[in-house]
Structure 1
Amino acid sequence: MQFHVVVSGETLWAIARRYRSNMNQIILANQIKNPDVLVAGQALAIPEPGREYVVQAGDTLWAIAQRYGISVQDLAQVNQISNPALIFVGDMLVLPYFPYTVQSGDTLWAISRRFGASMQRIIQINTITNPSMLSVGQILYIPREPRPVTEINAYITNMSEEGRREVLALGRNFTYLSPFTYSIREDGTITDLNDAGVLEAADTANIAPLLVLTNFRGRSFDSDIAATLLRSPELQETLLTNILSTMEAKGYTGLNVDFEYVYPEDRENYNNFLRRAVARLRPEGYTVSTALAPKESADQQGLLYEAHDYAAHGEILDFVVIMTYEWGWAGGEPWAIAPINKVRDVLDYAVTEIPREKILMGIPLYGRDWKIPWVQGTFARTVSPKEAVQLAQRYGVDIQYDETYQSPFFRYVDGTGQEHEVWFEDARSVQAKYDTIKAYGLRGGSYWVLGSTFPQNWPVLRDNFMIRKYS
């Protein structure tokens, strides 16, 4: 996978030629609506010919395997496709082997060193009888360097047929799926959620579903309802009984607790609730995790932060999701949603309190469009990364990139004369996030939220990682 940033006047044909790529493959990978109109500053994900292939209309896994001289089994395995009949237009497949033309002076040992591949595996794949005898111009198939294994969680709010189809189409990219949300009630019961369709899709895609439990009421998180529960061990036992019943009935594999704006005085009550949840659920084979506010220190002030005890959660739970996004929140001033320097500030603290192998780093799949000059009390509109590029295209403005935040942005003036500022994600910004997951040695990442069209993310993810699956 390579990235290309469009410069003014470039054509897609010229870009494809530069990378010796296929123009249609670039269109599919980036879901380019009008190939004749590109935006200066737009980042494109470029599939590498012979190493990666983007599924086109009419393709079958068998036909793709035949085209590249590999087995369907190998192609399915390296791409974690459990059902060969379920491939989707726009899916980027990595090829288990890529061709290399032997040059003068090449040795098998030097080739294996160059590509980080096992010499024995090269011999096996190419059925080489005499490793010391290579011919200039000979085509060798080189096994792809193994990608690190990571875990990926995805929250989803759309429980409709559209949401079910999205889970099916993207399911090979997820370890966990977290339908949002089941909410607590004062009597220890929980609200219902019409999640049958997305759970069925998760099962088909071999995804472990997590029951998300929140103190969400109406349109916001409710501190008082959390306090009612956290101050009553009896209510907690009732709640856990109801959770266990729901998880068993619906096939959930774990509990993800997302209590936000908890009163600071309930910090230890929250910890004790989590201990009680682990004691009830773990013996039944369920995982228990939480979603944590992005803190930069143990004593960070604010209702969002104070009751979230990083050290206790790291000790008690199977893993945590750190919500490393929303610096550029809808009700605040224009800013990158997840500026990488701030994300790293949070992780620098987090890894001192929580084992790295228990941390899923939050990753936004969306952007925002603010009216500027920003006025207190106004709210930005949420946009998908695809929609953001289309806005820049529509208003004829260049996309810029902030190197400190590792995030794209632009400004435009709408038809009424109102100025806007847009921050979003692109192939470069998510690559910076995946590099951060690797650099910190984290368990993986967690997306908020499915339903926002971000076609570049999925090929970039697959280029970086294999996704851990739990049968």
Structure 2
Amino acid sequence: MTFCGLMALAFGIWIIYLKFVPNFSYFDIDYGAEHPIVFNGELMKEGAVLENGEPKLPLSVAQLAAGSKESIRYEEQSGSIIMTTSDKVLRMKTEALTAALNEKPLELRFAAEARDGTVYLPIEPLEQLYGLYAEVAESTGIVTVLAAGQAVQLAEAVEEAKMRSEPTIRAPIVEALPANAVFRVWGEKDGWYRLQSPGGYIGYISKRDVKLREAEKIPEPERSEPFVAWNKPGQKINMTWEAVYNRNPDPSKIGPLPGVNVVSPTWFELLDGDGKIRSKADAAYVRWAHRNNKQVWGLFSNGFEPERTTEALADADTRFSMIKQLLAYAKMFNLQGINIDFENVYTKDKENLVQFVRELTPLLHEQNLAVSIDVTPKSNSEMWSAFLDRRELGRIVDYMIVMAYDEHWASSPKAGSVASLPWTEASVKRIIEEDGVPPEKLILGMPLYTRIWTEKQGESGVEVSSKAVGMDQVADIIAQRKLKPEFDESAGQHYVEYEENGALQRIWIEDERSAASRVGLVRKYDLAGVATWQRSFGSAEIWPAIDRFLKQKS
């Protein structure tokens, strides 16, 4: 036989060897931890720790298995761990066997712990809140974690089988398994199943050596019935804010406000970094509102003070103190909701604000309180817009109120509408399209005020100043000066101008026409309703007009 023939024969024998002769060596298994964790068929970077046979999961694995990094939060400074779901808030601390679930005491069998820079969470609360399932293989110490609602295909060895490290008979053996051994199936490749053995090891077995069985289904945890914030089907929210400064208004002088079904008085304000809240709540106002079939959503403001806001939001105990105060005030004054109005906030506090709302909402819902938050239209302003994570907040709250006004603000260098129609519509569309906030959660904030702009010639050019006025004051000016409003197509509202003391006075008017146009946006995008700032700026005629516009079908 020629040399070439010998080479061909040798190559053929080698191919036959590779294809038909199995590898009988064993794979040197080293998963890198005393108690490795397998989740979704993948080996996690960090292992578990065991206490009396019960696993504790690293924070990162618990967050991954729970489906949200944000739902489980650890604050190193206080050792606080906060777990949240749509209806539950669990608070505990490392090394503590006591916890609180929705304010109620909860005894833990095993404590969370911080070890070598890693926080480990006991499986018990993870199972209770998120439905996580964890099993420890006695023979190997491997911990398998499954998520709630997960369906995992099972398979059974039809005869004694060899599980290999790769999908080929030439790969070394991971584990020899008896007939009828049951595996979890995590995938398939090249005619092999990727399986997890009863001991927790991951490897491959040829499809012909196993038969599929029923799927294993991890049950979902028990959940409360979804909270319904607005139980008046077919009726839009028609809210107005009640600006309370030094004292509450006399309810007998307010008037009926036809069509208004929610009032939001500015009663609660953050006073300091320790989370103390000042209340100006008034029982007489609540009685008036309820007699007139209006819900009361008390407004909670940060006082627009960024330093105290940073301090109050940064600590779990301080956030909880604020929540407990709001719950107490809501119960004391028989409120139906809380409206959160945090403004002038550092962008670095974005996540802490979301966390506060995430912890607050389930507890307010438990007390049958609606949760709404006020947001500005999106802009590049760090302190007035960028700190708002509208996408995440929109997932948590019942309603997001878009404060679609101050397009031209009090100290604007240029005169213009407080809220032109194109700007208002663009503000709503951006939040729906860019942040994914459902239209049925959005309430359109509408101004009942306008600004009288004064333009006069100064040394360096035209100087612009303004003052805010309500509807009745503008109507008086128009009547006294016998002005004839013209319609500004670009702004979508009426406009007047006149001379006074050598200066040009300009007003973009808020009236029934501008209100009708904005309510038209509510119908166009099927929003939840409207909110007006603020009640005392409105004329007697505007309330039935807004009500009429909201009830129009087209």
Fold equivalence (TM over 0.5): yes
Select which of 282, 302, 310 maps to 1:227. Answer: 310
Output one character per residue of 1:136-173: Cα deviation in whole Å (capped at 9) or x when no partner.
xxxxxxxxxxx963111110115867551355511x42
1:423 correspondence with 2:525: no
- Tell me if the contact between 1:293 and 1:322 (Cα under 8 Å) persists in the aligned partners: yes
In structure 1, the gaps of 5 or more residues are 1-146
Counterpart of 1:396 in structure 2 is: 482
CA gap 1:397/1:371 in 2 versus in 1, 3 angstroms: same
1:154 correspondence with 2:240: yes
Counterpart of 2:204 in structure 1 is: none
Tell me the SS of whatever aligns to 1:237: helix
1:193 correspondence with 2:280: yes
1:344 correspondence with 2:425: yes
CA gap 1:253/1:176 in 2 versus in 1, 3 angstroms: same
CA-CA distance at 1:174 after TM superposition: 1.9
- Tell me if the contact between 1:293 and 1:323 (Cα under 8 Å) persists in the aligned partners: yes
CA gap 1:459/1:203 in 2 versus in 1, 3 angstroms: closer
Partners in 2 of 1:431 and 1:281 — Cα distance? Answer: 34
CA-CA distance at 1:370 after TM superposition: 1.6
TM-score (norm 2): 0.53
Show the 5 A alignment for 1:243-258: 243-258=326-341
- Tell me if the contact between 2:449 and 2:510 (Cα under 8 Å) persists in the aligned partners: yes
Show the 5 A alignment for 1:121-136: none
Counterpart of 1:409 in structure 2 is: 495
CA gap 1:437/1:311 in 2 versus in 1, 3 angstroms: same
- Tell me if the contact between 2:248 and 2:282 (Cα under 8 Å) persists in the aligned partners: no
- Tell me if the contact between 1:158 and 1:451 (Cα under 8 Å) persists in the aligned partners: no
Query: Which amino acid in the other structure matches residue 432 of structure 2?
Result: V
Partners in 1 of 2:289 and 2:469 — Cα distance? Answer: 26
Counterpart of 1:322 in structure 2 is: 402
Shifted more, 190-199 versus 347-356: the winner is 190-199
Tell me the SS of whatever aligns to 1:174: coil
Counterpart of 1:238 in structure 2 is: 321
Alignment RMSD (CA, Å)? 2.3
Partners in 1 of 2:395 and 2:286 — Cα distance? Answer: 30
CA gap 1:240/1:148 in 2 versus in 1, 3 angstroms: closer
Partners in 1 of 2:248 and 2:370 — Cα distance? Answer: 28
CA-CA distance at 1:391 after TM superposition: 1.0
Tell me the SS of whatever aligns to 1:321: strand
Select which of 283, 294, 298 maps to 1:207. Answer: 294
Counterpart of 1:286 in structure 2 is: 369
Partners in 2 of 1:319 and 1:453 — Cα distance? Answer: 23
Partners in 1 of 2:370 and 2:447 — Cα distance? Answer: 24
- Tell me if the contact between 2:260 and 2:543 (Cα under 8 Å) persists in the aligned partners: no
Select which of 504, 512, 521 maps to 1:436. Answer: 521
CA gap 1:378/1:238 in 2 versus in 1, 3 angstroms: farther
CA-CA distance at 1:456 after TM superposition: 3.4
Select which of 355, 362, 368 maps to 2:438. Answer: 355
Query: Which amino acid in the other structure matches residue 417 of structure 1?
Result: G
Tell me the SS of whatever aligns to 1:386: helix
Tell me the SS of whatever aligns to 2:536: coil
CA gap 1:378/1:464 in 2 versus in 1, 3 angstroms: closer
Partners in 2 of 1:320 and 1:163 — Cα distance? Answer: 29
Identity %: 21
Query: Which amino acid in the other structure matches residue 184 of structure 1?
Result: L
Q: Which has the higher helix share?
A: 1
Partners in 2 of 1:152 and 1:253 — Cα distance? Answer: 15
CA gap 1:301/1:188 in 2 versus in 1, 3 angstroms: closer
Counterpart of 1:116 in structure 2 is: none
Query: Which amino acid in the other structure matches residue 192 of structure 1?
Result: S
Counterpart of 1:164 in structure 2 is: 251
In structure 2, the gaps of 5 or more residues are 1-232
CA-CA distance at 1:316 after TM superposition: 0.5
Shifted more, 451-460 versus 437-446: the winner is 451-460
CA gap 1:307/1:206 in 2 versus in 1, 3 angstroms: same
1:383 correspondence with 2:469: yes
Counterpart of 1:105 in structure 2 is: none
CA gap 1:389/1:154 in 2 versus in 1, 3 angstroms: same
CA-CA distance at 1:457 after TM superposition: 1.8
Select which of 453, 457, 461 maps to 2:542. Answer: 457
Partners in 2 of 1:401 and 1:454 — Cα distance? Answer: 20
TM-score (norm 1): 0.62
Select which of 388, 410, 419 maps to 1:308. Answer: 388
Partners in 2 of 1:157 and 1:384 — Cα distance? Answer: 13
Partners in 2 of 1:263 and 1:151 — Cα distance? Answer: 31
Partners in 2 of 1:290 and 1:464 — Cα distance? Answer: 24
- Tell me if the contact between 1:325 and 1:364 (Cα under 8 Å) persists in the aligned partners: yes
CA gap 1:206/1:459 in 2 versus in 1, 3 angstroms: closer
Query: Which amino acid in the other structure matches residue 452 of structure 1?
Result: F
CA-CA distance at 1:398 after TM superposition: 2.3
Show the 5 A alignment for 1:256-267: 256-267=339-350
Q: Which has the higher strand share?
A: 2
